[in-house]
Amino acid sequence: MSKTVTINIDGKEIQTQEGEYILNAARANDIFIPAICYLTRCSPTLACRICLVEADGKQVYACNAKAKDGMNITTTTPNIEKERRAIMEVYDVNHPLQCGVCDQSGECELQNYTLEIGVDSQSYAVKDVARVAKDWGHLHYDPGLCIVCERCVTACKDMIGDNSLKTVPRGADALDAEYKASMPKDAYAMWNKLNKSVIGLTSGEEMLDCTSCGECAAVCPVGALVDTHFMYTTNAWELEKIPATCGHCSAGCQITYEKKHASIDNPQEKLYRVTNEWNYVSLCGAGRYGFDYQNSDVTKDEEAFNKAVEAFKKADTIKFTSTITNEEALILEKLKEKFGYKLVNDEARAFQNFLNDYSSVSGTRLYGSDLKETMAANFIVSVGSALKSDNPNARYSLNNSLTINKGAGLYFHPVSDPVINGLSKNILSVTHKPLQEEAVMYLLLDLFADKEKLPKETVDYLASFHSTKKVTITETIKEKVVEKVIEKKVNEETGEEQEVEVEKTKMVPKKVSKEVEIDDNALLGMVGAPENFNETLEKFLKKKDDFALIVGPDFYNHPNATNLAKLVALVEKYAGFKVVMIPALTNTLGVSLINELSDSEGEYVIGYNTKGDFTLSALGDGDLDMPAMNQQEGTLTSINKQVNPTNAAMSYGGYELNDIANALGLEAELTINYTKELPTAKGFQEVDFDDLEDYYTNAGEEIRGYKLKNMGRRVSSEPKVEKIDETLALDGETIIYLANPVRQFSDFTNKTTNLDEVSGLYMSEEFLASSEFNEGDSVRIKTQNGELVTKIVSDNKIAGAIALLPTFDSKLNSEALFSGYRFTSASIERV
């Protein structure tokens, strides 16, 4: 794509990609250029101007100047030093000396750069204005401490896509006029802008209403934006940092748990917050705020343990969820081999089948792409996923591609999503009916696939949707009209006024109706595409060369999942899409690779984090306690096909699965002894857990665990796909969908103190307004599989007439209402 160029920074020859920002190239090669407002992966903000460098004799900003071959760059000149010093002095103007109580507690970039540049005196002053601290719910904003670097705004816009923050007027006095002449140029320009703005909410309301990821507080270089739950509770240096992998969803984000003792009275350890390498990984609200789900105060209960061992001897089935490590999955698999248990995990089973069907056409065991490649693409299609809640990182990738790569996207889903629609004007939501996913996949084949390579049968089938129809269109055309106008002119010779007839041509718009033959694509009607779909798509596809497809969990339990899997493979193979599939839970991918799963349960079931005749639970409500994900070490397989190591943040005093396995005759001192035994035939590597690394380099390269090998598989040359099953439809007026609100994934997120979403039946505001129900009403939801009673919750993050039923509260037992597929028709009545 882009070619490698050589540039020279301060006499050091470095290799970089053409068009890479100088700042990134320097950072990747350990050359220091000061920069405050720039965020890797986001667009340059140009607020701080401190990254000034001299490139080929000209002063440029390193964060937005692109590298060209043979460029000669000097990072400091006397003039640049003067600018930098002035900029740092300006940042210190009216900045309160509250370092003692500031939550940044020394991890402050303002402090660092002030000392780095060596600011020991102040030459500038301006009258301060009252800047009142604001409580925005889960965030606290103190404009007094804010240096308006706009990193929060940039992160929210370019990474997250909520666009919740913007700069608002400060209402300050203008700068002293003499500064303009006396100050360094860039420092003055930067101050002039700084002095006019503070950060405010885009909505203009008092409270923040966003998807609450907290990324803005994470990127804040000073203590202006902080998490309310963390505010003034501890100093940063007190906290012990534990690198780990987030255990809530399949994104497998690298996080750092930070802990210390709870208080003077209570010496027990407590998690205070989660931090992240925000330049390279962005967290969602669950990852950032849902950290205290550990199973605490557990001791070795020998009686319960013996009962558990007895139960394992008696049992013939182990039922489990995918919120387990690869090692635990391997222990279960080994127990299965030894005692012939049936391993039951419906959701991983569905994914396993789906991958299997997919590989029968694609020839690879795993989907070909990952979220990083998706982020680099410039045309992204998402199908079958409530993207913002199924995998927030997939949504960030989509948003980042839309904003940074000037990309475009299509979002096919039955539930209309205002958050996705708000990402950019270059995303088109197509709200299709449930069970129409096959039509969507055929539409993608029809629009993008190389028809010459596609199997003939499929081409013919696609052609059958096309027909020509005559439509009358009214066009506005411009017509040339010649008019005769009488003008008064002064005769130059005589000086008299004369009337002269002049011919003038004018273009006059005129409406014309005409009949044209157009191609009518029946597939568009089937998926409920808007009328201007073709024109919009044509506009979207300009200058696009990198296509990605995100496939979501709606597919895996679809009645025709097999066919969908094959269609996904066809789209990948013949339409040149990079495909990524969202595993439904944390380690669904790992489980589906490691375990041989059964479809049906036996007579005596051991449940691991799910109900069984004997229940092992990390939630503390079972017959024997297990450690939660933040109390375990092990590896997790992420959506990026990466095997990520995670460490135990909190101590755990009870028994673990490995102890039971040892009692049953397996031999391993620690659970992580199984890391190197993970099946290499499935793409895992034979590596010791302690040899797995976990960090990001300065160049942004992720050195974490290892990547799964995508194993090949022999396939038949002519892939066979079924036609769209047009008999499938959900009857009934009301349709409910099994999906969680943002920030909630499972009982573990539900257990945490900072995530306070209430469970219930989520209805969009428009649905509520047009129905007889009100928020808070108790309703009985009936489907053909059962019924339950819950309360109605109004949700402004969805639109349309499909209600959402969450899975994060197992007390609700919402899954029992569905027969696999995430949509079902239901009746709702007030009780």
Partner 1 sequence: MSLEAFNNRNVNEGDYFLVDIEDYPTDGWGKFKRVVKRTFKGELFVGLWVVLREMIKFDIHTVQYPEEKMPIGPRYRAVHEMKRLWESDAERCIGCGLCEKICISNCIRIDTRIDENSRKEVSEYSINLGRCIYCGYCAEVCPELAITHGGEYENASDQREHFIMYEDMLTPIDKMKAGAQLEFEGFGSITPHEDERVKKTPLAY
Q: Tell me the CA distances in angstroms from 539 to 259, 375, 429, one per residue in order.
A: 51, 20, 15
Cβ 180 to partner 1, closest distance in Å? 16
> Minimum distance between the CB of residue 106 and partner 1, rounded to whole angstroms?
9
Nearer to partner 1, 176 or 497 (CB): 176
Provide the minimum distance between the beta carbon of 49 and partner 1 in the complex, in angstroms, as a whole number: 22
| Spatial contact of 364 and 531, defined as CB atoms under 8 Å apart | no
Tell me the chain's radius of gyration from C-alpha atoms.
Answer: 31
| Contact positions vs partner 1 (CB under 8 A) | 99-101, 105, 120-128, 133, 135, 140, 173, 176, 231-235, 237-238, 263-265
Nearer to partner 1, 233 or 562 (CB): 233
Contact 49, 56 (CB under 8 A): no
Q: At 587, list the tokens.
A: 């380690």
Structure tokens that stand for 102 in this block: 């500031």
Q: How far is residue 647's CA from residue 631's CA, in Å, rounded to a whole number?
A: 8
- The nearer residue to partner 1, 222 or 284, going by C-beta atoms, is 222
Give the torsion through C-alpha atoms of 303, 305, 310, 312, to 10 deg: 160
Decide whether 142 or 446 has the Cβ nearer to partner 1.
142
Helix axes 78-92, 185-194, angle to 10 degrees: 20
What is the separation of C-alpha 451 from the centre of its chain, rounded to a whole number of angstroms?
A: 33
Rounded to whole angstroms, how far apart are CA atoms 28 and 10? 15
Which helix (H) or strand (E) covers residue 581, if one does? strand 577-581
| Residue whose token pair is 């079924």 | 722
Q: Which is nearer to partner 1, 101 or 485 (CB)?
A: 101
- Taking the complex as a whole, how short is the minimal distance between the CB of residue 179 and partner 1, in angstroms? 11
If 0-12 CB within 10 Å is exposed, 13-18 middle and 19+ buried, where does residue 542 land?
Answer: exposed
- C-alpha closest to that of 404 among 37, 44, 796, 794: 44
Q: Are 139 and 216 in contact (CB under 8 A)?
A: yes
Closer Cβ to partner 1, 140 or 342, answer by number: 140
Residue with smaller CB distance to partner 1, 98 or 491: 98
Q: Do residues 711 and 681 make contact, with C-beta atoms less than 8 angstroms apart?
A: yes
| Residue 58: partners with Cβ closer than 8 Å, 6 or more residues away | none
Q: What's the closest the beta carbon of residue 141 comes to partner 1, in angstroms? A: 11
Min dist CB 133 to partner 1, Å, is: 6
Nearest approach, Cβ of residue 189 and partner 1 (Å): 19
Q: Is 687 exposed, middle or buried (0-12, 13-18, 19+ CB in 10 A)?
A: middle
CA distance 623 to 646: 26
CA distances from 653 to 192, 201, 293, 609 (A): 58, 45, 15, 18
Q: Which is nearer to partner 1, 125 or 758 (CB)?
A: 125
CB of 103 to partner 1, least distance (A): 9
Q: Using an 8 Å Cβ cutoff, are 140 and 228 in contact?
A: yes
In this complex, which beta carbon is closest to partner 1, that of residue 141 or of residue 278? 141
Q: Which residue lies nearer to partner 1 by CB, 223 or 654? A: 223
Q: How far is the CB of 222 from partner 1 (least distance, A)?
A: 16
CB of 167 or CB of 228, closer to partner 1? 228
Q: How far is the CB of 86 from partner 1 (least distance, A)?
A: 14
How many residues comprise the chain? 831
Q: In whole angstroms, how close is the CB of 48 to partner 1 at the nearest point?
A: 21
Give the H or E element holding residue 193: helix 185-194
Conformation bin of residue 137: beta by default, left when phi > 0, alpha when psi is -120 to 50: left
